[in-house]
Every structure is written in structure tokens, then in C-alpha cells.
Amino acid sequence: GQNIDQPTEMTATEGAIVQINCTYQTSGFNGLFWYQQHAGEAPTFLSYNVLDGLEEKGRFSSFLSRSKGYSYLLLKELQMKDSASYLCAVPGYNQGGKLIFGQGTELSVKP
């Protein structure tokens, strides 16, 4: 089966850097997604990692280590609008394309 763990909540200061960790256990692996979800809105795609290493996209970067079952999302130069829930998700292996989500990390950015 699959299991995904991420911290429930984090707090950071505007302009700072924050790292949101995600560990996963899966019977197979088809990549890992990060989504951002503002309160009352649908999740929006941030990143997809299928190979080990760091993928950088502007202020957001995502890292994957398949051997450790570990990923993180790195947010730089934090802005107040980055306050949101960040969801780590993996496709269910041989399960018809569904996504398995972690419980989400609620990030609060303070001035």
C-alpha cells in the first residue's frame, strides 16, 4: 500500500526560506507531485519529480530521493500570498492513475 507523511503545519517569516518535507512508502513509484491549495480553492500544480535531484522553478524548488522515499518543497523569498496548504501526492502504482495525497502542510507566512 501507500503511505505519505508531511508535517501538519509550519510557520515562516516573509522573505525567508522554508522547506516542507514529505516521506512516502509505495509499492511502486511513478513520480511525486506537489500542489498548492489556498483556502477555499482547488489545488494547483507546483511540481513533478520522477528522477532524483532538485528541480528549480523560480522561487519554488522540489527535491526527490527515491532511495530514501523522500521529497521536499523549498520556497524562497517567502511572500504573504504563499500562505496556503501544500500537498504532497503520488500516483497509485498500478491503480488506474489515481493520486494518493498526504494530509497537507498548512504554511503560515508572517510579516
Cβ 91 vs Cβ 100: under 8 Å:
yes
> What is the Cα–Cα distance from 73 to 21, expressed in whole angstroms?
7
Which span (10-18, 19-27, 70-78, 98-106) binds other proteins, by CB under 8 A? 98-106
Q: Residue 30's CB: how many other CB atoms inside 10 A?
A: 13
Full DSSP string of 45-76: EEEEE-SSEEEEETTEEEEEETTTTEEEEEE-
Instruction: Rule CB under 8 A: choose which of 12, 87, 90, 109 binds other proteins.
Output: 87
Judged by beta carbon, residue 47 or residue 72, the one nearer other proteins is: 47
CB of 48 to other proteins, least distance (A): 4
Q: Does 1 bind other proteins (CB under 8 A)?
A: no
Cβ 90 vs Cβ 100: under 8 Å:
yes
Chain positions 16 to 75 lying near other proteins, rule: CB under 8 A, are 33, 40-45, 47-48, 50, 57
Residues that bind other proteins (CB under 8 A): 33, 40-45, 47-48, 50, 57, 87, 96-104
